[in-house]
Amino acid sequence: MKKAKIILDKDFFVGVTDNRIYGNFVEHIGRCVYGGIYDPSCPDADELGFRKDVISMTKELNIPVVRYPGGNFVSGYNWEDGIGPREARPKRSELAWFAIETNEVGTDDFVEWCRRAGTEPNLAVNLGTRGPDAARNMVEYCNRASGTYWSDLRIKNGYKDPHNVKLWCLGNEMDGPWQIGHKTAYEYGRIANEAGKVMKWIDPTIELVACGSSNMKMATFGEWEATVLEEAYDVSDYISLHIYFDNLANDLPNFLAKSVEMDSYIHSVIAICDFIKSKNRKKKDVNISFDEWNVWYHAFEDNNKYIQRREWEVAPAFNEDIYNFEDALLFGSMMLSLLRRADRVKIACLAQLVNVIAPIMTVTGGGSYKQSIYYPYLHASKYGRGKVLTTLTTCDKYDSKDYTDVPLLDTIAVENEESRELTIFAVNKDLEDDTLTTLSLREYSNYEPIEHIVMQNENGKAFNTIDKPDVVMPTNKTLPKMENGKLEIVFPKLSWNVLRLKAK
């Protein structure tokens, strides 16, 4: 059995979590919207066609904000198509995912879904085929009380009170040649600045997210962020990061090490933001919105076949990764990467919520289940709110194919002063051994363990299905005992752990 040590001190912390770090993403892609959040054919649907089972699981996750409607979809989207009577809404050829978009769900419907699911909308504007005019009109429609064409149209459409959408994305992945309306960094920075300017003139209380690089492997990474911020720093409150990891090589040690890359990505973009701040003598910080992140690879082959066929279906079933236990372990480490920089990562949106690379899976017409990644997401959202402590962990490290000095034990601790609880999250990446870990808790000596949640599985490829939804799920372990401000706990090999303590 290997050994490790964790030291926590109440006075040393990274920052306080912004609850929006546990956000999510709903895009018009595959069965995420149609058959996912909206499915009138489902016996469990409410009077507006929203699935109650999905709403219930969304509430359980306590998701604070959901990004919508894209994603690549937004760069060709006319938001006006999705408002007014459903029977009058146009059907469109949707070029991001080569589908038919019926526009049965649009801005008003999504905001209504958010209210029912206990979350807030994060809306994206189209800066691919459109620009400042459509963006400011959308803000006026959503946020102005009355007295103008767009606000009065919202009232006419059945929404007397303004939606008061406070978080907006200035387009999506505009550095990508796959994007409709792809732009250079300078071109995007200029249009983002002009759109953001008029959007904030309509409603000065909103916050805006500028597009960063689609991923850190883009040839323009770094230069893109710097140029965009040179042009749009004053209107940008956040800059976006996107990352997805795969295990196509079926190399588990290397796969689990990929969270190190996520840490590096975050640190790099923060450095660029601060460089532009200093260079231009700005006072405010631009923080991070990590508004797309996940594990994604299982459905790649089917996705490519679908794109090549171009059959122009309504809500085609694709991008439906079925996540296994190994995926949940890296997913957990990715959550810890977000928490590790809670001082600057203020928003994060897991991509996506339902069916499409998602923690929740449904059967169109009825039936749903939770994927393996649902549980680390649930635990972090439930217990990972508060003061993120500087977590000093001493443990063995390993080298993999692409990474060096990877800690075998990935940890972070969060103190919730309101509930007087302390939670230690730990991913044990060791394939061979359990890890006996000594926790030195210092000012937390008056706390006592109340729960040790563990998710492990002898079969790393195990996954849940609609017929067997409980194959991969967490269990509770025997609690360690506190002695003189220290406790010893075993984190099993290849496991996700949540150790909760509460003040006496």
One-letter amino acid at 232 equals: A
- Two tokens, residue 72: 């690549």
User: Catalytic residues, which ones?
Assistant: 173, 292
d(CA 397, CA 153): 60
Long-range (24+ apart) CB contacts under 8 A made by 144-147 are: 144/202, 144/203
Question: Could you count the other beta carbons within 10 Å of the beta carbon of residue 283?
Answer: 5
Q: What is the DSSP string of 404-448?
A: SSEESEEEEEEEETTTTEEEEEEEE--SS--EEEEEE-GGGTTEE
Amino acid letter for position 303: N
| Alpha-carbon span 456 to 328, nearest angstrom | 10
Q: How far apart are CA 267 and CA 260, in angstroms?
A: 11
Length of the chain: 504
* Omega within 30 of 0 (cis) for the link into 352: yes
List the structure tokens of 61. 């996750």
What residue type is 187 in one-letter code?
Answer: E
Q: Which residues contact 104 (CB under 8 A, 6 or more apart)?
A: 34, 38, 49, 86, 89
Q: How far apart are CA 203 and CA 181, in angstroms?
A: 26
Rounded distance between C-alpha atoms, residue 330 and residue 406, angstroms: 13
Report the DSSP pairing between strands 238-245 and 207-210.
parallel
